[in-house]
Amino acid sequence: MATNLTADEEAGWFVAQQEQPWWQWLLRRFIASGPIPRHVAFVMDGNRRFAKSKHLGNVIKGHEKGFVQLAKILDWCNRFGIREITVYAFSIENFKRSEDEVSGLMRLAEEKFQKLLNDSEKLDEKRICFRFYGNRSLLSSRLQKLMSDIEKRTEKFDGGRLNVCMPYTSRDEITRSFETIRNHVKEGKVDVDDVSEYFLNILKKCGKFQINESMIDACLDSGCGGTVPDLFIRTSGEHRLSDFLMWQAADTHVYFDDVLWPEFGYYNLCKAILNYQYYRTTVVKISALNVSEYDAPSTTWKMKFSGDDRDLIAIKA
């Protein structure tokens, strides 16, 4: 492990920027000589199994350990120069769990988000932009307010980006994106019907555009300044996506590790990045197959956002 953390650091989002042990420094220098993923997505699986195997007495203790590990991993990723991280914190499907566990998780989230807002000095020092993906209407009003405050507070920060998915499923995200587009169609800003090239040009002149992949991308939660992940990591030996970033990770390098999330250490992160480096060129070539004549969008779209306001704009026609 990188450092022995103080109780205050254990409770917080940022661990101290101390000197790394020599072997970590050496490994980092060696690995950083190759390409480093810009965006890594994590499925933080295995907290409950960790609590059971270590006899912690309560599954929430396992989630707390998982959070401490997340703070360490954020620090390691920052040192590697990874600019964006997305974590799957809570799935909409997780509401099926016992009431005790769900309320415990919500309490933990409230505590951590409040702690983040209170840590003003650290926030200004690290300059990390926090975004929340998912269907927030399923959460308590207090949590929604905290999330909104964090987003507003860190909106202009450019030191990196952390996307927290809570409560999230990819299908829900895609469906909400479709619904946003349908509302634009109803308002007459977007045209649905397939038309000939001649009529398409006329529609463009009128400021009406057709639905394409880029428009769906822009209307997703990740459309507000997020990028596609280069590396998708899942811990705990499960080999499935579990409804996480299915649209965004369709062409991504997917890496599965057998260790439980609280045991996902520096060595495991290095292994994942080395694996990414080994297959990077091949994965990029395969994803480039996508750009055929059929797929190439005639118009690209962007979601302009400020606070809770969203505006879909065409940036190239």
Chain positions 138 to 197 lying near another protein, rule: CB under 8 A, are: 169-172, 174-175, 178-179, 181-182, 185, 190, 192-194
Q: Is 52 in the site for another protein (CB under 8 A)?
A: no
What residues does 303 pair with on adjacent strands?
Answer: 312
Q: Which of 86, 94, 47 is nearest to 67 (CA)?
A: 47
Here's the x/- map for another protein, 223-262, by CB under 8 A: it reads as: ---------------xxxxxx--xx-xxxxxxxx------
| Letter string b/e over residues 188-214, b meaning 16 or more CB atoms within 10 A of that residue's CB | eebbeeeeeeeebeebbeeebbbbbeb
- The residue within the footprint of another protein, chosen from 43, 211, 312, 314 (CB under 8 A), is 211
Pick between residue 14 and residue 256 the one whose CB is nearest to another protein.
Answer: 256
Q: Minimum CB separation from another protein for residue 185, in Å? A: 5
- The residue length of the chain stands at 317
Q: Minimum CB separation from another protein for residue 314, in Å? A: 16
Do 255 and 217 meet the contact criterion of CB atoms below 8 Å apart? no
Q: What CA–CA distance (Å, rounded) separates 45 from 259?
A: 9
Pick between residue 128 and residue 233 the one whose CB is nearest to another protein.
Answer: 233
Q: Is 295 in the site for another protein (CB under 8 A)?
A: yes
Contacts 24+ apart (CB under 8 A), 96-105: 101/59, 101/60, 104/58, 104/59, 104/60, 104/63, 105/60, 105/63
- The residue within the footprint of another protein, chosen from 30, 95, 199, 267 (CB under 8 A), is 95
Q: What are phi and psi of 224, to 5 degrees?
A: -85, 70
Contact positions toward another protein, by CB under 8 A? 91-97, 169-172, 174-175, 178-179, 181-182, 185, 190, 192-194, 211-213, 216, 238-243, 246-247, 249-256, 275, 279, 282-283, 286-287, 289-290, 292, 294-295
